[in-house]
């Protein structure tokens, strides 16, 4: 039986990708620097974790802009998958796999509260635990089921439809019998939405008249909008909602900065007349539910009912441009950087 654990080394030095300067908008390679520090020893209640796979997630744009979350000179605040090298925590053993706030570095000293999931016996390949079974996948699962569960006869619109969150939303909604329409930024991603994730249709929001496209795709309006972009795409989608529709506000990828707060079209009358509900969701409010969600999603994944894609590259320096790639939409799937060995 495979343990899914890749080979890894345990060097004395800890390589870190630190924030060198406060980014303006999306963090770029030039905002980061690599440094090497001595590996530290964990204290009571702490774990020493060897990081294996670094993750880059859109939420890091906010973390990088916030001095309280990522001080200049500190390792970039980040989620990652690692293996416990030394444990002073009674519920977590040496050799266990963990996923959480490990930062962009070879080693992290963390406590239980820094972890989103503890995976003593991985049932799936490790990269999945940062994607479909990680923060983005669990977000899709919980937000959709909690706020607006799809069902037969309902129509759902999904933005960033081909991404990690979007691809899980699309698959769950399709399996529930809903009519699923995706919005994404390239023709390749449209093809993937339809042929791989089961969307009924997908459209490129960068080309054509989005309002006309949505009206033609669902003349009677959408019952659910799972929104990962906000901005003008949301402004347009609100006007394509059916009466009593529900909007899940999950992401705001289309707005590069909230300071100063952006202004735009006023849509409150659309919300009033269409009697819409608009609900926000923050995954970090639901950490206690990760284990159960992961178990249920792993069952689907192993039964072949949930497909997922990861793009894994090697080498710690590669992580510094992944956020730029994400916000340019040039990521083909969940990108991870393996750093267990050079």
In the complex, what is the shortest distance from the CB of residue 30 to ligand NAP, in angstroms, rounded to a whole number?
A: 19
Taking the C-alpha atoms of residue 140 and residue 162, their distance in angstroms, rounded to an integer, is 12
Tell me the per-residue interface mask from 179 to 218 with ligand NAP, x by CB under 6 A, - otherwise.
-----xxx--x-----------------------------
When the beta carbons of 42 and 182 are compared against ligand NAP, the nearer one is 182
In the complex, what is the shortest distance from the CB of residue 288 to ligand NAP, in angstroms, rounded to a whole number?
A: 15
When the beta carbons of 84 and 283 are compared against ligand NAP, the nearer one is 283
* Tokens of residue 49, six digits: 């974790």
In the complex, what is the shortest distance from the CB of residue 134 to ligand NAP, in angstroms, rounded to a whole number?
A: 9
Site for ligand NAP in 153-182 (CB under 6 A): 160, 162-166
173, 253, 293, 336: which one binds ligand NAP (CB under 6 A): 253
Site for ligand NAP in 122-141 (CB under 6 A): 135-136, 139
DSSP, residue by residue, 159-205: ESTTSHHHHHHHHHHHHTT-EEEEEESSHHHHHHHHHTS--SEEEET
Instruction: For residue 321, state whether it binds ligand NAP (rule: CB under 6 A).
Output: no
When the beta carbons of 42 and 137 are compared against ligand NAP, the nearer one is 137
Site for ligand NAP in 103-122 (CB under 6 A): none
Instruction: For residue 282, state whether it binds ligand NAP (rule: CB under 6 A).
Output: yes
In the complex, what is the shortest distance from the CB of residue 293 to ligand NAP, in angstroms, rounded to a whole number?
A: 13
Instruction: For residue 229, state whether it binds ligand NAP (rule: CB under 6 A).
Output: yes
Site for ligand NAP in 6-65 (CB under 6 A): 57-59
Taking the C-alpha atoms of residue 238 and residue 225, their distance in angstroms, rounded to an integer, is 8
Q: Using the structure block, give the residue that is written with the tokens 């620097």.
A: 33
Taking the C-alpha atoms of residue 199 and residue 144, their distance in angstroms, rounded to an integer, is 16
Taking the C-alpha atoms of residue 328 and residue 322, their distance in angstroms, rounded to an integer, is 10
Q: Please state, in angstroms and as integers, the Cα–Cα distance from residue 166 to each residue in 89, 181, 259, following that order.
A: 36, 11, 27
Strand extents, DSSP E, the chain: 13-19, 32-38, 47-55, 79-87, 97-101, 107-110, 115-119, 155-159, 179-184, 201-204, 222-227, 241-249, 277-280, 310-314, 334-338
Long-range contacts of 328-332 (CB under 8 A, 24+ apart): 329/185, 329/186, 329/189, 331/163, 332/188
Shortest-Cβ-distance residue relative to ligand NAP: 163
Contact window for ligand NAP (CB under 6 A) among 66-74, 87-95, 245-253, 259-267: 245-253
Q: Is the dihedral of CA 136, 137, 141, 144 positive or negative?
A: positive
Residues that bind ligand NAP (rule: CB under 6 A) add up to a total of 29
Instruction: For residue 267, state whether it binds ligand NAP (rule: CB under 6 A).
Output: no
Give yes or no for a contact between 163 and 308, defined as CB atoms under 8 angstroms apart: no
- Chain residues binding ligand NAP by CB under 6 A are 57-59, 135-136, 139, 160, 162-166, 184-186, 189, 228-229, 250-251, 253-254, 281-283, 326-327, 329, 331
């Amino acid at each position: 039986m495979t343990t899914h654990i890749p080979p890894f080394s345990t060097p004395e030095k800890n390589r870190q990708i630190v924030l060198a300067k406060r980014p303006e908008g999306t963090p770029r390679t030039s905002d980061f620097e690599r440094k090497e520090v001595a590996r530290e020893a964990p204290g009571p209640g702490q774990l020493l974790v060897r990081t294996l796979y670094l993750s880059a997630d859109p939420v890091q744009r906010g973390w990088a802009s916030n001095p309280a979350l990522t001080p200049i000179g500190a390792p970039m605040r980040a989620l990652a998958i690692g293996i416990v090298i030394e444990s002073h925590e009674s519920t977590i053993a040496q050799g266990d796999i963990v996923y959480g706030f490990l930062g962009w570095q070879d080693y992290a000293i963390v406590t239980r509260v820094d972890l989103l999931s503890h995976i003593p016996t991985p049932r799936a390949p490790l990269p999945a635990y940062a994607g479909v079974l990680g923060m983005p996948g669990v977000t899709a699962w919980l937000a959709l089921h909690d706020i607006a569960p799809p069902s037969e006869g309902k129509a759902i619109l999904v933005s960033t439809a081909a991404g990690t969150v979007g691809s899980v939303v699309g698959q769950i909604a399709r399996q529930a019998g809903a009519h699923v329409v995706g919005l994404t930024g390239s023709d390749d991603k449209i093809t993937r939405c339809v042929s791989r994730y089961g969307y009924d249709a997908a459209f490129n929001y960068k080309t054509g008249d989005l309002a006309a496209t949505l009206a033609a795709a669902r003349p009677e309006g959408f019952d659910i909008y799972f929104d990962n972009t906000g901005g003008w795409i949301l402004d347009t989608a609100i006007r394509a909602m059916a009466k009593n529709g529900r909007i899940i506000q999950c992401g705001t990828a289309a707005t590069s900065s909230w300071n100063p707060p952006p202004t735009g079209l006023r849509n409150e009358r659309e919300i009033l007349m269409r009697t819409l509900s608009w609900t926000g969701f923050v995954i970090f409010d639901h950490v206690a539910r990760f284990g159960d969600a992961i178990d249920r999603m792993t069952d689907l994944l192993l039964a072949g009912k949930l497909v997922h894609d990861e793009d894994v590259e090697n080498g710690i320096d590669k992580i510094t441009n992944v956020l730029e790639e994400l916000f340019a939409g040039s990521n083909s799937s969940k990108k991870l950087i393996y750093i267990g060995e050079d």
